[in-house]
Amino acid sequence: MEATALELFAFACVGAVIYSYAIYPLFLTLIAANVQVVRDARYVFKKLERRSLPTQELPSVAVIIAAYNEERHITARIENLLTIDYPAELIRIYIGSDGSKDGTNALLKSISDPRVHAIVFEQNRGKASVLNDLVAMAEAPILVFSDANTMFEKSALRRLVAPFGNADTGAVSGELRLEKSGGDNQDSLYWRVEQYLKFFEARIGGLLGANGAIYAIRSTLWSPLRPDTICDDFRIAMHVATTGHTLVYEPTAWASEETPDSIHDEFLRRVRIGIGNFQELVRHPEYFFRTSWATRFTYLSHKVLRWLSPHLLIAALLASAVLSSQSSFWKVLLAIQLTGYFFSWILYRRNKAGYSVPSPLRIPLFLFALNWALLIASIRYATGQYRGVWRRTRR
């Protein structure tokens, strides 16, 4: 029996989700392997270098950090930056407190080291506004962005700036290593998969955004952020990509931070990031038109289809419901979908209530929570129920 248009539509929706999560990583690996073979062949036959040469002299850098209610981390963070393996005369640290209500402001005002420029903003305006102000104060060819709760590895800054020895390099993203927790959150596993994708996306010249905990750009490529920008790290790096410069992934430049124990804690963070994702998708169509073929390919496969996954799954569910009246095959498929979503929802509610979830079920639970967060985020973005200011989570 020939498939109807509605049946093809249902399969296409599910297929797009499967492609983004399962097939794309394999496809990306194959493409990256072919790219590496071509580079090796060019080296053998034409003696062309396969890797970028590191910068010969260390550049002056300005480390930019926007903080809000970070009294728990701010002192250790500043100490971490002041003791990093980088010449003292070449590093300046700009930290702005965005109307913090805890002890952050007092701690910043107590700093006397001339390398640290601590600015206390009395009004809470949002991270993007603070970043704009701090960058305007900075005077360095390389801007390094990070978070107040992140800790750099000793040599991270040296490794982060090394790829700027290549004039084509516009931004460099380091690697964030999440410290393990004993909770049910599987973000650390998901993050390792994301690191894998970043590595091979960078190999084909299609790195997407940057890791907000540790990345750097050339100051000449900075573009001021709109005040309500949420995913500032993604926006800053993708703007660099639209200028024709290369985004580099440098996993040896790493930083660490804690992973929340609870999937619900992660859910709150994912909702906010999700709103920022849809904000970028709607506001910046140039990511599809002013970037390299590799970036367009990875952006669609890795980001856009992921962001739209809950909507695609809902569309497939509705199509299955209509088709279930026509054949027993679709009745079975509908039952499988409803059962899977029902039990995932029960697991999520139990986790939110504080109950532990068996290990084999944590990954599907995390994926359910991730897509549920994206669905909520899309609704809030579409209805304007968001603001470009801070929301505290445990990570």
User: In CATH terms, is domain 61-261 a member of 3.90.550.10?
Assistant: yes
**C-beta neighbour count of 144 within 10 angstroms:** 28
- Rounded to two decimals, the pTM is 0.90
Domain extents for the chain?
61-261
- Say how far apart CA 76 and CA 257 lie, in whole Å: 12
Q: Which two tokens stand for residue 199?
A: 């590595």
- In sequence order, the β-bridge partners of residue 256 are 151, 177
> Distance between CA atoms of 232 and 241, rounded to whole angstroms?
14
| pLDDT confidence of residue 184 | 47
E-assigned strand segments in 246-387: 246-258
What was the pLDDT predicted at 50? 56
d(CA 190, CA 182): 16
Q: Output the pLDDT for position 100.
A: 94
At 292, give phi and psi (nearest 5°): -70, 165
Cα angle for residues 26, 13, 341 (degrees, 5° grid): 95
Please give the pLDDT value at position 54: 54
pLDDT attached to residue 42: 77
pLDDT at 37: 87
pLDDT, residue 40, reads 78
| Residue 48 phi, psi dihedral angles, 5° rounding | -90, 135
Beta-carbon contacts of residue 49 (< 8 Å; ≥ 6 apart) = 43
Predicted local distance difference test score (pLDDT) of residue 263: 66
Mean pLDDT by 10 residues, the chain (395 residues): 83 97 96 87 69 71 96 95 96 96 94 94 94 97 96 96 95 88 56 90 95 96 96 97 96 86 73 95 96 97 98 97 93 96 90 78 86 96 79 53
Q: What is the pLDDT of residue 236?
A: 98
Cα within 13 Å of Cα(223), Cβ side: 16
Do 253 and 159 meet the contact criterion of CB atoms below 8 Å apart?
A: yes
Lookup: tokens for 223: 């573009």
For residue 197, what pLDDT is reported? 95
d(CA 58, CA 91): 10
pLDDT at 393: 52
How far is 103 from 70, CA to CA, in rounded Å? 8
β-strands 61-67, 91-98 pairing: parallel
**What does the block give as tokens for 52?**
């970028």
What span, in angstroms and rounded, lies between the C-alpha atoms of 36 and 44?
12
